[in-house]
Amino acid sequence: MSEKINIPDHYSKWESDVKIGKKDDHVTIGYWRDGCKGCGICVDVCPKQVWELIEAKDKWNGQVVQVTDASKCIKCMLCEIHCPDFCIKIY
């Protein structure tokens, strides 16, 4: 674990030990709820169903996302790359 984790304080964080192929690794998932527009793209692109949509009455379309189980993450970065709103950081 040499890389520097740089997730701003206003991000929610989930952490877990993970196995990537046969290698032991660790993931930190950062998520910026205020910036999230609940589009659901992260839920759609994640191959491991790490994200899920949940109800959020304060949002215009009534939904945001949350991490269900960080231990399933394979750090493929697809969610981070395809979130149109700069809301996800995977370390």
> Residue 10 contacts by C-beta under 8 Å, 6 or more apart in sequence?
32, 34
Give whichever of 5 and 69 is closer to another protein, judged by the CB atom.
Answer: 5
C-alpha dist (Å) from residue 6 to 3, 9, 79, 82: 9, 9, 17, 19
Least separation in angstroms between residue 80's CB and another protein is 6
Site for ligand SF4 in 9-38 (CB under 6 A): 36-38
Residue 2: left if φ>0, alpha if ψ -120 to 50, beta else—which one? Answer: alpha
- For another protein, which stretch binds (CB under 8 A), given 17-25, 33-41, 50-58, 66-74? 33-41
User: Which residues here bind ligand SF4, judged by CB under 6 A?
Assistant: 36-42, 45-48, 50, 65, 73-79, 83, 85, 87-88, 90
